[in-house]
Every structure is written in structure tokens, then in C-alpha cells.
Amino acid sequence: MPYKEKRVEKLYYSISEVAEMFNVNPSLIRYWEKEFDIIKPKKNKKGNRFFTIEDIEHFHIIYYLVKELGLTLTGAKKKLKENKDGTMNNFEVIKSLKEIKSLLLEIREDI
């Protein structure tokens, strides 16, 4: 298997970088930030938002609940409030399975 360099991750990401990761508009990122209290970006004096890896993981969970499962924002908030650990564990399992699937497809193409 060919060597792959580990991707260097930054400490902080701008709102445009986060929006690009999820292929959404920055306005949706701002809206989710207001709606979900688990997202707490750092802000500089100008008010620019800077998101941590943890914030991005929370966006992944919200994206999964809203865009992939089709929950409303109210439903997603309720699910996170009632069973945050279970929801996060389910998300982690699904994320791992997607990575395994991607790796297997890559191996299949190399054969």
C-alpha cells in the first residue's frame, strides 16, 4: 500500500473554510452556531469567527442529523439534548464505517 502523508490539521478554521468543508453557505454555519449551543467559535476583535476541530466535529453531527437523517432543527436539538452521548457514538460508528468503505473501495480499484 502506498505511503500517504498524514494531513496536517490547523488549530482554527475560518467560517468560509468550514462552509466549504460541508458544501454550504457561510450563512448556514452562522445560523447553526446561533441555534446550537455546542458550537462556540472564538472571535477576534473584528468579530471574525474561528472554529476549532471540536466545533467542526459538532457541525458534522448536526449535518448528519439535519441533512442526512432529515431531522428538523428542533428534532436535532431534542436528540442532542436527550441523548447526546448516544447520538455522538452513533455518528462515530457511521463515520468509521464510511471510512472503512472508502478504504475498501480504494483497495478494490488497486486490484
Cβ atoms of 76 and 66 closer than 8 Å: yes
Distant-in-sequence, close-in-space partners of 56: CB < 8 Å, separation ≥ 6: 13, 18, 21
Q: How far is CA 29 from the centre of its chain?
A: 11
Task: Write out pLDDT tens, residues 31-72.
Answer: 999 999 889 999 999 989 999 999 998 999 899 899 888 999
Q: Examine the pLDDT at 85 and tell me if it is beyond 90.
A: no
Between 52 and 88, where is the model more confident? 52
Residue ranges and CATH numbers for the domains of the chain are 13-110 (1.10.1660.10)
Percentage, residues of the chain above pLDDT 90: 46
Q: Examine the pLDDT at 79 and tell me if it is beyond 50.
A: yes
